[in-house]
Amino acid sequence: MDCHNAGLSVGMVPTMGALHAGHRSLIDRAVAENDRVVVTIFVNPAQFGPNEDFARYPRTMDADLAMLGAAGVHAAFVPSVETMYPPGLVTRLDIAGPLGSRLEGASRPGHFNGVALVVTKLLVAGLPHRAYFGQKDVQQCAVVCRLVRDLDIGVEIVVCPTIRDTDGLAISSRNRYLSPEDRVRATAIPSSLAMAIGRFEAGERDATALATTVRSCLENAGLDVEYVAVVRADDFTEVEKAAPTNQIVLAARIGSTRLIDVVRLGVDTAPVGGGV
């Protein structure tokens, strides 16, 4: 059915599958806000570096499709690599400036260019009215918001809150790589962010001091820190003096598992333990 001609609103939830409660929250919101919802499942090779986890990225198609049915989704788009990247494709997108090259962009060269290409192709193919993304991938959200403006793609980008387990760890498809011991150590991530929120609420405004609080907590738990930074929400430039709506972003490794997290200062409550 042509939803546009029929006057029906369409929501899209782009995913790489391995669906979990975080995805479910995006899907539930899309179902609540649109007449029709399409979920895309595509493990996008273009956004993985050569030494990253593309081959072992969890693929759980049967469970994913069962979840979509239970959630009342109207359509699943599950393209092959050849469909998304047919032979002869030469068009690339380049996310320029700090947004594309700093922090997550520096740790994962080319990652946001790959995300931008696939998201653009999905949005252009589906022409949804709204598309839903999770706040946990906050730099990705900023990239997608920027690209729909830059390329005049008339889609509303809806950013949904991070969903956390009871111990505060942000839910992620990559959490399933963690051994039980590493899963416990990973809770240093929400604890470190809770500490920084506590210090911010107690009046600390020095961004380096806040980032150091987070880094020390992670290192004390034996995590290998890739970056911790206090950034402006829109362009990901780092700030010296922290202010409400600035975000503390981090990436850390526990063994071979790489996790990211974020909190918004003055907006988010402490992810665990009251923030002291």
23 is annotated as an active-site residue: yes
Q: With respect to ligand PAF, which residue has the nearer C-beta, 102 or 108?
A: 108
Q: Is residue 44 within the footprint of ligand PAF (CB under 6 A)?
A: yes
Alpha helices by DSSP H, listed for the chain, are 21-33, 61-71, 81-84, 97-101, 104-107, 111-126, 138-150, 180-185, 188-201, 207-220
The length of the chain is: 276
Which residue is catalytic, options 23, 74, 111, 129?
Answer: 23
Give kind and range of the element (H or E) at residue 15: strand 10-15
CA neighbor of 54 nearest in space, from 91, 88, 16? 16
Instruction: With contacts defined by CB under 6 A, name the span among 11-19, 96-104, 164-172, 241-249 that binds ligand PAF.
Output: 11-19
Q: What is the CA radius of gyration of the chain?
A: 19
Of 3, 10, 11, 15, which one interacts with ligand PAF (CB under 6 A)?
15
Q: Is residue 162 within the footprint of ligand PAF (CB under 6 A)?
A: no
Q: Is residue 38 within the footprint of ligand PAF (CB under 6 A)?
A: no
DSSP one-letter code for 238: B
* Least Å from the CB of residue 275 to ligand PAF: 27
- Site track for ligand PAF across 118-137, x = CB under 6 A: xx-----------------x
Q: Is residue 246 within the footprint of ligand PAF (CB under 6 A)?
A: no
Q: Is residue 14 within the footprint of ligand PAF (CB under 6 A)?
A: yes
The neighbour count for residue 9, using CB atoms within 10 Å, is 14
Q: Is residue 260 within the footprint of ligand PAF (CB under 6 A)?
A: no
Of 10, 12, 16, 214, which one interacts with ligand PAF (CB under 6 A)?
16
Q: Is residue 104 within the footprint of ligand PAF (CB under 6 A)?
A: no
Q: 40 to each of 26, 148, 183, 198, 250, how far by Cα in Å?
A: 12, 18, 29, 38, 27
Question: Phi-psi bin for 273: left (phi > 0), alpha (psi -120 to 50), beta?
Answer: left
Binding stretches for ligand PAF (CB under 6 A): 14-16, 44, 47, 115, 118-119, 137, 140
Cite the active site residues: 23
